[in-house]
Amino acid sequence: MFSITLLTVGKLKETFYLAAAAEYAKRLGAYCRFRLVELPETRLPDDPNPAEIAAGLRKEAELIAAAVPKGAWFCVLTPEGKALSSEALADKLRAIKNEGKSAACFLIGSSFGIDPEIKRKADFRLSFGPMTFPHHLMRVMALEQLYRAETIQAGTKYHK
């Protein structure tokens, strides 16, 4: 069975986000082995300067690099990535599976972003568009789209 890991930097606290994320993670489990890995966000001052932000992102990059499953296709969610339709994401995952990969890993960085080196190491950079979304909502959105991609591949009626 195909394995999907969602790496997130930072923890969810709000119960409504937790409930939505848990529901999509449960649904996704019917189509793949799903694993959520929450990594700690680097604590920064209230008004960090660019050097402090860069240092924090480098620290997070070490944790991210260690958490990406070996041999997994690696995708970072970033505004400068490529926007895909739900069908195109399903096709991308289907192609990865057809190439013999048994795992995919998606990363949602911290509220300050993702270290440039991690972005360079990614197999793909995915954008959900140029708008800014609450960091915690992005987890729910990513889970829903992964679930949708799996249901599209399976030919179920979820995607209309």
Instruction: Kindly report, residue by residue over 60-118, the tens digit of the pLDDT.
Output: 999 999 999 999 999 999 999 999 999 999 999 999 999 999 999 999 999 899 999 99
Strands 3-9 and 33-39, sheet pairing: parallel
Q: Mind listing the pLDDT tens digit for each residue in 9-46? A: 999 889 999 999 999 999 999 999 999 999 999 999 99
Which residue segments constitute the domains of the chain, with CATH numbers given? 3-154 (3.40.1280.10)
Is 94 in a helix, a strand, or coil? helix
Query: Tokens at residue 89, please?
Result: 């994401």
- Which amino acid, one-letter code, is at 146? L
Q: At residue 106, what are phi and psi to the nearest 5 degrees?
A: -115, 140
Question: What angle is formed at CA 65 by the lines to CA 62 and CA 67, rounded to 5 degrees?
Answer: 110
Task: Grade residue 159 by pLDDT with cuts at 50, 70 and 90.
Answer: confident
Give the CA distances from residue 18 to residues 2, 7, 22, 93, 126, in Å, rounded to whole numbers and listed in that order. 24, 15, 6, 25, 23
Percent of the chain with pLDDT over 90: 91
Q: Is the pLDDT of residue 158 over 90?
A: no
- pLDDT confidence of residue 133: 86
CB 17 within 8 A of CB 135: no
Task: Grade residue 135 by pLDDT with cuts at 50, 70 and 90.
Answer: confident
Contacts for 8 with CB less than 8 Å, ≥ 6 apart: 36, 37, 38, 39, 107, 108, 139
Helix (H) or strand (E) holding 104: strand 103-108
Task: Grade residue 151 by pLDDT with cuts at 50, 70 and 90.
Answer: very high
Give the CA distances from residue 40 to residues 4, 43, 56, 133, 154, in Å, rounded to whole numbers and listed in that order. 20, 9, 11, 20, 34
